[in-house]
């Protein structure tokens, strides 16, 4: 989460607003115009219900303070603009305090189809709607609280849990995770393609499954209900992480990158 970014964060003005250019708003319009038909077809019902509550604009980039007012009324959450990539400690602290960190820039036209790091489109479209859902919002806060209790050696294991739920989770074989919701190519393939493996959600399996950020995921974990995420908050997750460490990671289902 703290590697170097290719983008420069947008800074808020004296009134707390971020000034986006006409070209940046047009990029948002293009992204929304092509993504929403896919979202309506492949996103889970819980996400679609949440999206309806938030009513995101289709033609311009919304301001974080505007979204925060809506989220705060629904679940007590807020959205805070941050640099493109932040460290684990900052990330966990923000989630624990019901602040979702949103990268403030929007991708360039050259990277319209795929971006390795999160931008404002991914953050707002992928993440913020489900923060109106109290079960999902509680789980997201639990991740932050877990990170605050953990030591640094456990951070990557918590990130793996976050990855296979909040970012790339499926719910009843429809897309739940923000990484899927905001992806032009992976959203459809995560639901329809015969290539990836889809497994029932199992905490130990999730913790032991390696992943890469720069490919379509070869394996997805499928939740039956958001109540499963709430149940995780009642478990000894740090103990589970230590058990997973002893067992070790599964062999990756993808080619290893060369350094």
Residues taking part in catalysis: 122, 127, 167, 182
Coil vs helix vs strand at 233? coil
Please tell me whether 250 is known to bind a ligand.
no
Angle between helices 134-149 and 155-162 (to 10 degrees): 170
Residue 81 belongs to what H/E stretch?
Answer: strand 78-82
Please tell me whether 122 is known to bind a ligand.
yes
Please tell me whether 167 is known to bind a ligand.
yes
Q: What is the 3-state secondary structure (H, E, C) of 158-219?
A: HHHHHHHHHHCCEECCEECCHHHHCCCCHHHHHHHCCCCEEEECCHHHHHCCCCCCCCCCCE
| Those residues with Cβ within 8 angstroms of residue 135's Cβ, 6 or more apart along the chain or in another chain | 226, 227, 229, 230
CB–CB of 61/67 below 8 Å? no
Coil vs helix vs strand at 84? coil
Q: DSSP per residue over 85-123, as a string?
A: ---HHHHHHHHHTTEEEEE-----GGGSS--SS--HHII
Beta bridge partner(s), residue 198: 220
User: Measuring CA to CA, how many Å separate 100 from each of 65, 85, 110, 240, 258?
Assistant: 12, 13, 27, 26, 33
For Cα atoms 50, 135, 142, give the angle at the middle one, nearest 5 degrees: 125
Q: Please give the DSSP secondary-structure letter assigned to residue 31.
A: H
Known binding-site positions: 122, 127, 167
Known binding-site positions for Fe cation: 122, 127, 167
């Amino acid at each position: 989460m703290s590697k170097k970014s290719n983008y420069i964060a947008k800074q808020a003005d004296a009134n707390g607003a971020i000034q986006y250019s006409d070209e940046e708003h047009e990029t948002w319009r293009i992204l929304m115009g092509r993504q929403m038909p896919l979202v309506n077809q492949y996103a889970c019902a819980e996400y679609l219900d949440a999206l309806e509550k938030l009513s995101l604009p289709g033609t311009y980039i919304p301001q974080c303070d505007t979204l925060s007012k809506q989220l705060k009324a629904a679940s007590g959450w807020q959205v805070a603009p941050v640099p493109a990539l932040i460290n684990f400690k900052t990330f966990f602290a923000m989630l624990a305090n019901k602040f979702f960190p949103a990268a403030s820039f929007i991708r360039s036209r050259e990277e319209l189809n795929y971006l390795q790091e999160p931008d404002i489109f991914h953050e707002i479209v992928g993440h913020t709607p489900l923060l109106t859902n109290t079960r999902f919002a509680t789980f997201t806060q639990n991740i932050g609280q877990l990170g605050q209790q953990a030591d640094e050696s456990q951070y990557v294991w918590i990130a793996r849990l976050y990855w296979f739920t909040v970012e790339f989770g499926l719910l009843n074989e429809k897309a739940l995770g923000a990484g899927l919701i905001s992806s032009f190519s992976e959203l459809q393939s995560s639901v329809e393609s015969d290539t990836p493996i889809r497994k029932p959600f199992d905490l130990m399996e999730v913790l032991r499954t390696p992943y890469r950020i720069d490919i379509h995921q070869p394996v997805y974990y499928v939740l039956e209900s958001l109540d499963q995420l709430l149940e995780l908050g009642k478990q000894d997750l740090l103990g589970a992480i230590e058990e997973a460490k002893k067992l070790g990671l599964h062999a990756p289902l993808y080619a290893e990158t060369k350094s």
